[in-house]
Structure 1
Amino acid sequence: MNGNTVLITGGAGGIGKETAKVFLENGANVVLVDVSEEALESAKESLNQPDKTLVIQADVTKEEDVIQYVEKTVGAFGAIDVFFNNAAISGPSIPIKDLDKQQFESVLSINVTGVFLGLKHVIKQMEKQGYGSIINTASNAAYIGAAGMAGYIASKHAVAGLTKTAALEVASSGIRVNAVAPAAIDTQMLSGIQKNMNPDDPEGVGEALKQGIPLGRFGTPRDVAEVVLFLASDKASFVTGSLYNVDGGMQAD
């Protein structure tokens, strides 16, 4: 990745920040995009490579913000070699019959519209370059149902579909599009899901979740980041339109 530029949305979150760290270790420049400027500055400071790290505050659901983060990345580093289309939220844990339309749409706005807009405008830049690798963040939720998680489940099924569709549309342009499908990764989002499922006993929810993981533990952000690095690299040059499970064996069970 020496000298390559990697653009990461959701860059201040657990997986986004760890992925930035992995790419920096491999010689890349990284651009972190997130909605919180404070969180971005904290992430940049923790990465400790200011000359190779750019942060851009943006709302991935707003097209003008997406255009801006693409233009600023190209202006700073000249190209977008890798795009980790990662920003997402889990949303509330509420049965469909009790879920407000606004609550449902807020999850789809970030997790689906945000991914779509990122694809739309980064693909345009990569077509000018004649190359690029895009990795979307799906989830094991792209394969299953889960009571109380209608917005999140629907959104990650959509990310899987967008990944396959985009891969077919841009294959002739030298661009690859894949997705990682993490499950039970030890991040703030997982903690939030546990609290949503049982505010009185989130630790109990966590232990129950671990019992459903063949490897017997939660994944780490590093586990995901290493797979993203592989998909971004030339080692995956014949891989496109794929979802890579990072789930401790859950989909095999």
Structure 2
Amino acid sequence: MQLQGYHAVVTGAARGLGAAAAKRFVAEGARVVVADIDGEAARACAQAIDASGERATARVCDIADPAACAALVAQAESFFGAPIDVFLAHAGLGYAGPLTEADPERIRRIVEVNVLGTIYCAQAALRSLVRSPRASLIFTSSLQSVTARAQRSVYTASKHAIVGLTKALALEYSPQGVRVNAIAPASSDTPFLRTQLEAVGARDVDQAVREVAASMPLGWLPTPEDFADAAVFLASTSARSITGHNLLLDSGAAAGFFRRG
């Protein structure tokens, strides 16, 4: 029960890595707001975590709207009856494909959600976090926040921005007791990865996923549960002296050696 009595908000929590983190937070003793732009899926996730609605509740939030981010924080504080202790800003969008073929509106939306949306979340969350004695702001960056891949230029640029934001906010808010970190996962076998593989022309997506996993130095992809473990660690007192850090969760990929493919 590493997060006993904590109050946590997770964006992009309706499915995948965000849902795994929200579920694990509750298992570790926290109460959680499951936030997502897909309200129906967010409600289903919260219901699956805690049917009573006492420990998990859902809220709709488009993080690209600063007013929606502010409303989410207000709703969370109302649900908890206290400031937020942990805010996991996980929501984001992916994009794969040659830059010259990228639709300008699609580029704008990636930057709007991944960069501006994360900043808006941080801006709103910090106004609450500064009133918590155990405050932790956690971003989801990516393996592409420290490396790069062909046909991922827009996404890579957006995730590099998260690392800069993490470092700057860690320095800015450490005097107020707020720790700011990021988790940089490699791809997991989620709908997000499968959509990316389809976008770059994979004909057999199952085989493509296996090839991606085999290319990792450890020979496997991190799981959503691995991501949840990392989020719990960074939120807990076990990481009390860690801030401004981008935690790689990449099966060794950023070390620079891929076994195959």
Give yes or no for TM over 0.5: yes
Residue 91 (structure 2) aligned to one of 87, 94, 99: 87
CA distance in 2, matches of 1:216, 1:95: 28
The amino acid of 2:31's aligned partner reads: N
Given candidates 233, 237, 244, the residue that maps to 1:230 is 233
Q: Deviations over 1:98-135 (max 9, x none)?
A: 21221111111111111100111111112234541011
2:72 corresponds, among 66, 69, 72, to: 69
Native 8 Å contact 2:202 2:208 kept in 1: no
Partner of 1:153: 156
Whole-angstrom distance in 1 between the partners of 2:108 and 2:133:
35
CA distance in structure 1 between the partners assigned to 2:115 and 2:154 by the alignment: 10
Instruction: Find the partner of 1:188 among 191, 195, 198.
Output: 191
Q: Where do 5+ consecutive residues of structure 2 fail to align? A: none
Decide whether aligned partners of structure 1 residues 48 and 54 sit closer, same or farther in structure 2, where only a CA change above 3 A counts: closer
SS at 1:190 equivalent: helix
What are the ranges of 5 or more consecutive residues in structure 1 without an aligned counterpart?
none
Percent of pairs with identical residues = 30
Separation (CA, whole Å) in 1 of partners of 2:16 and 2:210: 21
Amino acid of the residue matched to residue 55 of structure 2?
A: K
Partner amino acid for 2:42?
Answer: L
Is 1:168 paired with 2:171? yes
- Find the aligned partners of 1:37 and 1:82 in 2 and give their Cα distance: 21
TM-score, normalised via structure 1 length: 0.96
2:32 is matched with 30
Distance 1:4 1:207 in 2: 37
Report if aligned partners of 1:183, 1:219 keep a CA contact under 8 Å in 2. Answer: yes
Q: Which residue in the other structure is 2:12 paired with?
A: 10
Q: Distance in 1 between matches of 2:133 and 2:236?
A: 16
Distance 1:72 1:2 in 2: 21
| C-alpha distance in structure 2 between counterparts of 1:59 and 1:184, whole Å | 23
Q: CA deviation at 1:45?
A: 2.1
What CA RMSD, in Å, does the superposition of the two structures yield over aligned residues? 1.3
- Listed as ranges, the matches of 1:75-114 within 5 Å are 75-77=78-80, 78-91=82-95, 93-114=96-117
Answering whether residue 142 of structure 2 is matched by residue 139 of structure 1, we say yes
In structure 1, the partner of 2:22 is 20
**Post-superposition CA distance 1:34-93 (Å, at most 9, x none):** 0011111211122134211111101100011001000011111111000101001112x2
Distance 1:207 1:127 in 2: 43
How far apart in 2 are the matches of 1:162 and 1:133?
A: 14
- Contact 2:86/2:129 (8 A) holds in 1: no
Per-residue displacement from partner, 1:111-160 (whole Å, max 9, x unpaired)?
Answer: 11111001111111122345410110001000122221122111110111
Worse-matched range after superposition: 44-53 or 199-208: 199-208
Give distance in 1, aligned partners of 2:28 and 2:213: 32
Aligned length: 252
What is the TM-score normalised by the length of structure 2?
0.93
